[in-house]
Structure 1
Amino acid sequence: MLLAALSSLFPPPAAAWSRDGHRIVGHLAEAELRQPARAEVARLLAGEPDPTLAGISGWADTLRDEDPVRGKATAAWHYVNFGDRGCRFDPSRDCRDNDCVIGAINRSFLALSDRKRPLAERRDALKFLVHFVGDVHQPLHASPRRDKGGNDFQVNIGGRGSNLHAVWDRNLVGSRRLEPDAYASVLRRLPAPRDPTLASTTPAVDWALESCRLVDQPGVYPRERVVGDAYLAKHRPTAERRLRQAGSRLAALLNHALGN
């Protein structure tokens, strides 16, 4: 996948959930880690500038600029496109060669779980997993429309031009004006997802399909292409619920992968 293809699909300003959104997911997950997983996370992240799940949550996005070769190779791992075919997953069509966020989550989980693999490989797998679980819960990273995850749907917000993807990445969360750790504390008061354990054999597929169906809900695409306070107030609870789900589900993955 060429780096140019990533730029046309998800321009650099529209990284899922923004830096703060990913940090919120990391804070939420860290609060639900059991001790064995917590200890292994600490071992794997020793030496990182910020050796926490929140601290490494945005690493996968930084590869675009800091390691362009690797950024190019992992570009397609941040999303899955269903096109205009509805919310039905066909691996050979939607995730060829496992080159989508679903395949990336599964691959990272397996690498992290395998203690025979080199520490550096498992560290990167952890950093990828934290990020991609966040990505798949941003509805427009699993879209049933042919508009590049809402990047081609132009809107006006606060008198400025933007696009729907950026609104869901940044504005819904940013309009709360809370620091990530404080925001996570607020979201922890929400009910935990009903699936904190990995009952499904295909959780990443399920999470992507949830996102896809949310994109199809009435009102997500504003008719007048103007996004104001009413839009943000209406859809913020959905974004917050997805962040809450991402945090608990990420913790469940890590507790399962690192609990022995």
Structure 2
Amino acid sequence: MKVSSLSLATSVAIVLACSSTFYSTDAQAWGKTGHRITGKIASAYLSDAARAAIRDLLGPESLAEASTYADEMRSNPSDFWQQTAGPFHYVTLNQPHTYDAEDCPPQGDAMSALKDFTATLKDTSARHEDKQLALRFIVHIIGDLHQPLHVGSAALNDRGGNDVKVTFFGEQSNLHRVWDSGLVEHQKLSYSEFSHWLQRKITPQQAQQWATPDPYQWINESSKLRDEIYPQTDEPYLAWDYVYSYTPTMKQRLQQGGVRIAAYLNQVFAESQS
């Protein structure tokens, strides 16, 4: 399936699940709040060319709004959303920390989707609606790849922590969901409040250091963090100690995700103009 020639009305690809798949109907990396935070932060680091191109494609729709589109459409009954797009939210690594082309299953993954959606965005002959979809997915995928459990391990074979049952402040959950939304929502902040707090703490030096458009680096970072965040007991009770230990990591990944959405789009639209 080539995303660059994608039409939602005609997509008929049939996708079979494979053993390395860990995406579930509950898994929405960072949840809506987290994705909107990365989109909001990204807006502060866009180049003039990227800002203009995004405005031409999305009109008044902000990157914060666009960032959740790929999750909000998952109940759309079309073949694309029900049979094709699910694997675009994650990768599964056969090696501990390095993504290889052989890691991509036949149905695709976040890396293959990022490549294809980027091609669509650069394609001067692509339809406007396909470019809109591509942009929204790119923003979402970059956010996904900064959530450590959306970089899964074939060796662990636990669907990115979905199979790791935990209790989070007295409620039954799983490790994936804790990282998708539990840690973020525990802050009790709106996305605009949280993004403002996080953005103003990004120093110019950090913004420059983090502004890499290389998804292989994002995946490497997330995979190393993934290995650190698993509880050390079966069916653990996660509460204040876990929040204390990993909230700084969660905050930095949101900050980095936002900076890198901008860095990636700045590069894409700079290349489109050259």
Decide whether the 8 Å contact of 1:136 with 1:207 is kept in 2: yes
SS of 2:75's partner is helix
TM-score (norm 2): 0.84
Kindly indicate whether residue 104 of structure 2 is the aligned counterpart of residue 105 of structure 1: no
Structure 1 stretches of 4+ with a deviation exceeding 3 A read 1-6
The AA in structure 2 aligned to 1:132 is I
Distance 1:161 1:3, change over 3 A: farther
Decide whether the 8 Å contact of 1:82 with 1:88 is kept in 2: yes
SS of 2:189's partner is coil
Decide whether the 8 Å contact of 1:140 with 1:150 is kept in 2: yes
Percent identity (aligned): 33
1:127 to 132, 136, 141: 136
| Alpha-carbon offset, residue 223 of structure 1 | 2.2
| Alpha-carbon offset, residue 79 of structure 1 | 0.6
SS of 2:125's partner is coil
| Alpha-carbon offset, residue 120 of structure 1 | 1.4
Q: Deviations over 1:113-149 (max 9, x none)?
A: 2333221111111011010000011000002221000
- Counterparts of residues 176-255 of structure 1 (less than 5 Å): 176-188=187-199, 189-191=201-203, 192-193=206-207, 194-198=209-213, 203-217=214-228, 219-223=229-233, 225-255=236-266
Q: Distance in 1 between matches of 2:25 and 2:152?
A: 18
1:90 to 95, 100, 117: 100
The AA in structure 2 aligned to 1:29 is A
Distance 1:27 1:3, change over 3 A: farther
Distance 1:179 1:242, change over 3 A: same
Q: Give RMSD over aligned pairs.
A: 2.1
Structure 2 gap segments, 5+ residues each? 1-13
| Alpha-carbon offset, residue 14 of structure 1 | 2.3
TM-score (norm 1): 0.88
Q: Distance in 2 between matches of 1:183 and 1:222?
A: 30
2:183 to 165, 172, 191: 172
SS of 2:194's partner is helix
Structure 1 gap segments, 5+ residues each? none
| Alpha-carbon offset, residue 2 of structure 1 | 4.5
Q: Distance in 1 between matches of 2:61 and 2:176?
A: 29
Distance 1:98 1:115, change over 3 A: farther
Decide whether the 8 Å contact of 1:150 with 1:165 is kept in 2: yes
- Counterparts of residues 20-39 of structure 1 (less than 5 Å): 20-39=33-52
Q: Distance in 2 between matches of 1:111 and 1:78?
A: 18
Q: Distance in 2 between matches of 1:255 and 1:182?
A: 25
The AA in structure 2 aligned to 1:69 is D
Q: Distance in 1 between matches of 2:233 and 2:184?
A: 22
SS of 1:221's partner is coil
